Amino acid sequence: MQDSLFPQQQYEPLASRLRPRNLQEYAGQGHLLGEGKALRKVIEQGLLHSMIFWGPPGVGKTTLARLLAQYADAEFLSVSAVMDGVKEIRSAVQRAQMFRAQGRKTLLFVDEVHRFNKGQQDAFLPFVEDGTVIFIGATTENPSFELNGALLSRARVYKLRSLDAADLQVMLNQALTSELSLLPVRNCEPAAAELLVAAADGDGRRLLNLLEMAADLAMAENKNAITAEIVAEICQESVRRFDKGGDLFYEQISALHKSVRGSSADGALYWFARMLDGGCDPLYVARRVVRMASEDIGNADPRGLTLALNAWDVQERLGSPEGELAIAQAIVYLACAPKSNAVYTAFNQVRADVRGMPSYDVPVHLRNAPTRLMKEQGYGQEYRYAHDEPEAYAAGECYLPEQIRERRYYQPVARGLESKIAEKLAHLDSLDKNSPLKRYSE
């Protein structure tokens, strides 16, 4: 009786109802699937090989895998690293082996393959190797870091890109005109369409989900069109694509750092705002800004490091939005400041020498002598106290081990304060060359 009173209808999301049936209906990825592109030729000829689809969510990885199976006339099997384990992998392989015995090909699609551990990834190798399955893995993470080298060597990686506005508009038009969409309202105002495309942020699945919600809301409000007001209502809390700790995270912080290094205040502010908009912790950015101050500005303008530390302190003390504004101030200052990586370069060279050279003894004249035995050994006896020397500089003295006495690590640039530092060091170098008290003289 209950079933007759409340008949159950199986719900299928709009994105699933409108899944492309052929390459002509597939939106985006023209760099891979455009006319004449190698992957398109392979697909149309049904000559498949194992592949890894790497790209952000909602760009068509699963759909493309299904189309591959269709064009190759292969059985499509799917496992998900989020939901499935060894049992499901074994079951899929057994089915593939059965299909193979019947002379049929099998495409095994592994969603979120990066979530499988290394041992689980290894489980696919024998069956990829002997042709039991055509392996297609989908991942949002960089395969170089997340997948076994053995698996990568057996599969070609294809990078899928976020959908651009034109791709999303094509998808939107298809959804509004297709009978398969079953949308209760099919009219969409141009301003509403523009808002939907912007809110989708390169994600086709998100676009269709937002469109379906907007159409349902329009019907509930007895409107015959999807308006900008309706779209704005369902998009009140926009969630940008930003995978904390993932590729997009590191791509954006890299863009921020390189904008500062390249003296682009506008670029640096843009990427800072993008990271904040995506939910990045401002303290993380503050810490990286301190790194920028030392690595790329250095002694060309030492005030940059002070300002960066102050911005970090403001964020910790006051939080947002005051702290974010202080970080933005530091970012702009660093972008506009004179640049020098002389300290960064010198420090890296020193560390490389320390790792690669013998552990040279501290020269005797530089050693401390707190005990009588040490004094008897001559520790510190020939040390020259700089403050007692002309210009408070012991000309001719050397503070490196004798074996590397000619090493010069720090090379100031001719920008900002470092140009003055370079002049000072050149003057001290001339004093050394003309001093009769040279340490380690030839």
* Residue 35 confidence (pLDDT): 84
Q: What are the pLDDT digits (tens) for 150-206?
A: 888 888 889 998 898 899 999 999 899 888 888 888 889 899 899 898 888 888 988
Distance of alpha carbon 430 from alpha carbon 213, whole angstroms: 77
Whether residue 240 has pLDDT greater than 60: no
CA 117 → CA 35, 92, 121, distances in Å? 37, 18, 6
CB atoms closer than 10 angstroms to residue 142: 16
Q: What are the pLDDT digits (tens) for 123-143?
A: 888 888 888 888 999 998 888
pLDDT category at 223 given cuts 50, 70, 90 is: confident
Q: What are the pLDDT digits (tens) for 277-307?
A: 877 889 999 999 999 999 999 999 999 999 9
Q: What are the pLDDT digits (tens) for 322-341?
A: 999 999 999 999 999 999 99
* Residue 332 confidence (pLDDT): 96
Contacts for 430 with CB less than 8 Å, ≥ 6 apart? none
* Residue 247 confidence (pLDDT): 61
Cα–Cα–Cα angle for 273, 275, 279, nearest 5°?
A: 115
* Residue 373 confidence (pLDDT): 82
Q: What are the pLDDT digits (tens) for 59-117?
A: 989 999 999 888 888 889 988 887 877 778 888 888 988 998 888 888 999 988 888 87
Q: Which domains does the chain have, with CATH numbers?
A: 29-159 (3.40.50.300), 165-234 (1.10.8.60), 247-336 (1.20.272.10), 361-434 (1.10.3710)
pTM: 0.61
pLDDT category at 243 given cuts 50, 70, 90 is: low
* Residue 305 confidence (pLDDT): 96
* Residue 302 confidence (pLDDT): 95
Whether residue 4 has pLDDT greater than 80: no
Q: Angle 282-292/303-318 helices, nearest 10 degrees?
A: 170
* Residue 150 confidence (pLDDT): 83
Whether residue 1 has pLDDT greater than 50: no
Distance of alpha carbon 256 from alpha carbon 270, whole angstroms: 8
Round the average pLDDT of the chain to a whole number and report it. Answer: 86
